[in-house]
Amino acid sequence: MMDIGSKKLKWMVLAIIVMLLHAQTFAQDLHFSQFFNSPLSTNPANTGFIPAADYRLGAHYRDQWTSIPVPYKTISIFGDFQFMRDRFRSGWMGLGGMILQDVAGTGNLKSTKAYASVAYHQMLGSTGLLSAGFNLGYAGKQISAEKLTFDNQWNGRFFDGATPSGEILQSNSIGYFDLQAGLNYAYFPSDHVYLHAGFSMHHLNKPQETFFASTPNYDNTITPRSIFFADAVVKLNNRVILSPSIYYSQQAKASAFVGGLQMNYNVVGAGDQQLIGAMFFRPGDAYIPMIGYQWKSFKFMFSYDVSNSPIKYFNNSRGASEMYMQYDGIYSTMYGGGRQSMCPTFTTGF
Q: What is the mean pLDDT of each run of 10 residues along the chain (350 residues)?
A: 45 43 46 93 96 93 73 90 88 96 82 96 94 97 79 73 67 92 96 96 93 75 95 95 97 93 93 96 93 96 87 64 95 60 64
Question: Residue 306: CB partners within 8 Å, gap ≥ 6?
Answer: 286, 287, 288, 289, 317, 318, 319
Q: What pLDDT, on the 0 to 100 scale, is given for residue 175?
A: 93
Determine, yes or no, domain membership for 101. yes
Q: Is residue 190 part of a domain?
A: yes
Q: How far apart are CA 222 and CA 87, in angstroms?
A: 38
**Helix H or strand E encompassing 350:** none
Total domain count for the chain?
Answer: 1
Among residues 249, 322, 327, which one has the least CA distance to residue 60?
A: 322
Per-residue pLDDT at 65 = 66
Give how far the C-alpha of residue 260 lies from the chain's centroid of Cα atoms, to the nearest Å.
15
In this prediction, residue 157 carries a pLDDT of: 75
Q: SS3 of 14, please?
A: helix
Q: Is residue 195 part of a domain?
A: yes
CA distance 285 to 18: 11
Residue 62 inside a domain? The answer is: yes
Q: Maximum distance among all alpha carbons in the chain?
A: 79
Candidates 240, 226, 229, 242; CA nearest to 196 is 229
Q: What is the CATH number of the domain that holds 172?
A: 2.40.160.40
Q: What is the pTM of this model?
A: 0.83
What is the distance, to the nearest Å, from the Cα of residue 127 to the centroid of all Cα atoms in its chain? 29
Instruction: For the beta carbon of residue 136, count every other beta carbon within 10 angstroms.
Output: 16
Range of the domain at 221: 4-337
Say what the pLDDT of residue 67 is.
Answer: 60
Inside any domain, residue 245: yes
Does residue 41 belong to any structural domain of this protein? yes
CA angle, residues 225, 279, 15, in degrees to nearest 5: 60
φ/ψ region of 23 (left if φ > 0, alpha if ψ in -120 to 50, else beta) reads alpha
CA distances, 263 to each of 9, 36, 54, 291, 292 (Å) = 45, 14, 23, 10, 10
Could you tell me if residue 348 is inside a domain?
A: no
Report yes or no on 347 lying in a domain.
no
